[in-house]
Amino acid sequence: MSEISTLATGWTFTSESPVPEDVRSMLIVGEEAVAAYKTIRDFAIFTNKRLIVRDAQGLTGKKVEVYSLPYKSIDMWSTENAGTFDLNSEVQLWTRAGQIKINLKKGIDIRKFDNLLSEILL
């Protein structure tokens, strides 16, 4: 379980993105993609039921690991906007699997992201 926390510490969402087609095929009946964010070559997709992270691995990125975090596993979250010298905003999720930290690059609206979490978690 600590592997998730260690991996997530390095996630930096760089921009909003369309939902990748290969992730759409994983959605169950009644599940809808709400938002997607891109990292350098990975994606995080927020649905109405869970957070799906598509993690491309290796030099070619052909090997893909997928994490699925049901929202019922998230106990608490916090958001911190960027400051004068710190250009990234930060999001922390406290889950049954451990603490997950996500950085949001400049250009991603932290309050919109916070509202997204509120809408899907509450």
The closest alpha carbon to 98, from 16, 27, 3, 32, belongs to 3
Beta strand residue intervals within the chain, DSSP E: 11-13, 15-16, 33-38, 43-47, 50-57, 63-70, 74-80, 89-95, 98-104
Instruction: Spell out the per-residue pLDDT of the chain, length 122, in tens.
Output: 445 544 444 578 889 988 888 778 889 999 999 999 988 778 899 999 999 888 777 676 678 788 888 999 999 999 888 766 667 888 999 988 788 888 888 888 888 988 999 998 88
Q: How far apart are CA 75 and CA 10, in angstroms?
A: 21
CA atoms within 13 A on the CB side of 41: 10
Predicted model pTM: 0.80
Which residue, chain included where needed, has tokens 């049954």? Answer: 96
Q: 71 near 121, Cβ under 8 Å? A: yes
